[in-house]
Structure 1
Amino acid sequence: MTITSKDVIAILGPADETLVAEVIATGATQVELAEALAWVNNDEAMLGEGRRLPTGRVAALVDLLSPDEEEQDK
């Protein structure tokens, strides 16, 4: 089942409409979005658990949710 804007906001918290639309456009599920968020928030722990790097929709979501390197430098 594809994700709705309500689902995205429930998982991510307050989010900009563009990001919500981009997440929905991936065709991801709630489980995939939650996994991507876990990777973004603590990739070292995920690797420590022996998980493989994300692929497919989860990887696309990680890219969407990860802060731009330029923004991190500010």
Structure 2
Amino acid sequence: MTEQGQSMLNRTVRKRHQLSAESIAKDLQISCGLQISITAVRRELHGMGLHKRAAACKPYITKCNAKRQMQ
């Protein structure tokens, strides 16, 4: 993928706040005229550090809270 294609992909993801490779590929084909496969979109998203997974909820544990839990 060219540098211009990567910037369009990055702009599309940031604008729409989604990570569905299928919908991003369709959007790039319609709006930008890029013929790009879903696999290439997934590869580029992974290379940019974007993964299709939800962030895990982690409790905020301070030293004080950890000490209370241990008691």
Bigger share in helix: 1
Do they superpose with TM above 0.5? no
TM, length-normalised to structure 1: 0.33
Greater RCO structure (CA 8 Å; 6+ sep): 1
